[in-house]
Structure 1
Amino acid sequence: MGLGPQDYISIVDLIIYIPALIAAIIVTARHGFHRASGWIYTVVLCTVRIAGAICQLLTHTDHSEGLLTASVIIDSIGISPLLLATLGILSRFIDFVNAKGVQLFSVKQFRFVQLLITLGLILSIAGGTGGSTDSNGTVTVSGTSKAGIILYIVGFAGITYFFLLSSSYRSGVPRQERRSPIAVAIAWPFILIRLIYSALAVFVNNDTFSVVGGKVSVRAAMAVIEEFLVVFDYLILGLGQGRLHFFDEATIRIYRHS
């Protein structure tokens, strides 16, 4: 059996995400492996995409239901690392704003949005195992997957709210940190398109947006390209910022009294 369009996308994923994974590890190590820094989730996304590409290519020799389920799950959870990475980058930026006495948002608010996205991830994984495929190849999406997407949408709305209210405070933070809202602004429309694709795949689920067997060109245009552009955007941000370990309390105290 020859390679199909989905296989070519998987090959491109491997070509792109293996070097991106190396870069993401370097950036994450540079800024610290604390999850709230955001960049650790670029490592997660790169790893997920590499694993998904390998699973897709393996379906040529292994037609087991377990491998197909794994491919569906891996494909469906790609939006969560994008959201969590964005939330982490905004958290870092807003903490600098708060250090100047503005107190825009509390840690509890960020943790609440993080919890929503994490629950969405868990439900998406559970939904990937709970769906079914009939004899005609039609995929029935579980209610659990739909609930997961709804939580992603709410989480994205929370991230947008944080972003809109904090962007005007760029001038009050260190120069290298002023790039963070710009990077999020660049990534925002791509994340929105990716989220729309996930919602259509779950709620519409026709021949164009089906989780399994949908149009590869649509998936490439609304999901694959968007994910890569966001990862590339955040990696440039991370490489351009200094070796500042943001969660070093001494750094916070120095900046707060500057």
Structure 2
Amino acid sequence: MNLDSRGYVSIVELVVYVPAFVLAIIICVRHGIRQTSGWIYTLLLCLVRIVGSICQLVAYSNPSTGLIQAYLIFDSVGLSPLLFATLGLLSRLVDWVNTERGPILQAVHFRLVQLLITIGLILGIVGGVQRGSSQSTTDTTPQPSSVSQAAIILYIVAFAALVGILLLSFGYLSYVPSKERSISAGVAIALPLILVRLVYSAVSTFTHSKTFSILGGDVGVFVGMAVVEEFLVVIIYIGLGFVVPKLQKGQQGEVGSGQWRQRRERPIKFTSIRGANRA
């Protein structure tokens, strides 16, 4: 098996994401599956990248349209866990503000953003299947798919909504306990990284540029605009998982408890702990 530079990138991804996957499991167990505040999506991103890297490496010794299709699908869905994880963390932040100050955003607002990301995820999978089906094992520049382009547009709209939620929450951080404020700082650092990753996907999807080709594009551009950004966001979110305290029963509000994900679930009262946990 003769590896090229892309193959070595896949090996590095395995070296990074396998330990990150283990740490993400620890965080999900620590906070509880129902109160992971987005860390479950960090876990899923690690899993997606691990499987995608394995497909890439196997394709060197056994090139096939099926493996190429699988790699394109896993690459196309990578943005959705990043956006979902960010949305989950912001929901936790907004819950504190809603409880201490009064509602600034409702669960329905988060549900709408979730819907955009979910539809983008579905379209991304369909687009990856289409691009993979029309891809030969020798052609390194997949043709852009209109379905994939629609997915990117939805991701861009969802990203803009996440930025808006973060900016809105900045004005109410005084209502958030000191240990929880690290979420706003972490997300503020992560969003520009996600933006760069989103730009890379948009250019590779909307243009025929060989430089931004998913399969045979410039490796330096791929690493600098996609791989590194995802590494850093995963590190930031895993770090937040160990920094912020586990919420006790009754401390999670409508937004963070998943009411925007499961409408039939009974509301959970978010107990105010203004005096105890405020800096």
2:67 corresponds to 1:67: yes
SS in 2 for 1:66: helix
2:248 corresponds to 1:230: no
* 1:6 shift after superposition: 0.7
Q: 1:178 to 1:256 in 2, by over 3 A?
A: same
Contact 1:56 1:71 in 2 (8 A): yes
Instruction: Find the aligned partners of 1:215 and 1:35 in 2 and give their Cα distance.
Output: 40
Contact 2:179 2:245 in 1 (8 A): yes
**Unaligned 5+ runs, structure 1:** none
Q: 1:36 to 1:159 in 2, by over 3 A?
A: farther
Contact 1:190 1:227 in 2 (8 A): yes
* 1:138 shift after superposition: 4.0
Instruction: Find the aligned partners of 1:63 and 1:85 in 2 and give their Cα distance.
Output: 33
Contact 1:99 1:256 in 2 (8 A): no
* 1:37 shift after superposition: 0.9
* 1:243 shift after superposition: 2.0
* 1:251 shift after superposition: 7.2
Which of 172, 186, 196 aligns to 2:175? It is 172
Letter in 2 for 1:247: Q
Letter in 2 for 1:110: F
SS in 2 for 1:153: helix
Contact 1:10 1:57 in 2 (8 A): yes
Q: 1:136 to 1:97 in 2, by over 3 A?
A: closer
User: 1:1-258 residue pairs with structure 2 within 5 A?
Assistant: 1-34=1-34, 37-131=37-131, 132-133=134-135, 137-245=140-248, 246-247=251-252, 252-255=270-273
Instruction: Find the aligned partners of 1:230 and 1:85 in 2 and give their Cα distance.
Output: 10
SS in 2 for 1:253: coil
Instruction: Find the aligned partners of 1:19 and 1:136 in 2 and give their Cα distance.
Output: 33
Contact 2:124 2:147 in 1 (8 A): yes
Off by >6 Å, runs of 4+ in structure 1: 248-251
SS in 2 for 1:34: helix
* 1:100 shift after superposition: 1.5
Instruction: Find the aligned partners of 1:107 and 1:126 in 2 and give their Cα distance.
Output: 29
* 1:35 shift after superposition: 6.9
What TM-score comes out, normalization by structure 2 length? 0.87
* 1:174 shift after superposition: 1.4
Instruction: Find the aligned partners of 1:136 and 1:11 in 2 and give their Cα distance.
Output: 23
Contact 2:77 2:125 in 1 (8 A): yes
Instruction: Find the aligned partners of 1:56 and 1:23 in 2 and give their Cα distance.
Output: 24
Instruction: Find the aligned partners of 1:62 and 1:155 in 2 and give their Cα distance.
Output: 37
- Residue 259 of structure 2 corresponds to none
Q: 1:211 to 1:21 in 2, by over 3 A?
A: same
- Residue 258 of structure 2 corresponds to none
Instruction: Find the aligned partners of 1:154 and 1:60 in 2 and give their Cα distance.
Output: 36
Letter in 2 for 1:201: S
Contact 2:117 2:155 in 1 (8 A): yes
Q: Deviations over 1:191-239 (max 9, x none)?
A: 0000000000100131101122111111110000000100100111110
Instruction: Find the aligned partners of 1:64 and 1:94 in 2 and give their Cα distance.
Output: 47
Letter in 2 for 1:188: L
Q: 1:138 to 1:228 in 2, by over 3 A?
A: closer
Contact 2:135 2:142 in 1 (8 A): yes
**Unaligned 5+ runs, structure 2:** 254-266
Contact 1:191 1:226 in 2 (8 A): yes
- Structural RMSD (CA): 1.9
Contact 2:42 2:85 in 1 (8 A): yes
Q: 1:138 to 1:234 in 2, by over 3 A?
A: closer
* 1:61 shift after superposition: 2.2
- Residue 261 of structure 2 corresponds to none
Aligned residues: 258
SS in 1 for 2:41: helix
Out of 234-243 and 84-93, give the one that drifted further. Answer: 234-243
Out of 230-239 and 138-147, give the one that drifted further. Answer: 138-147
What TM-score comes out, normalization by structure 1 length? 0.94
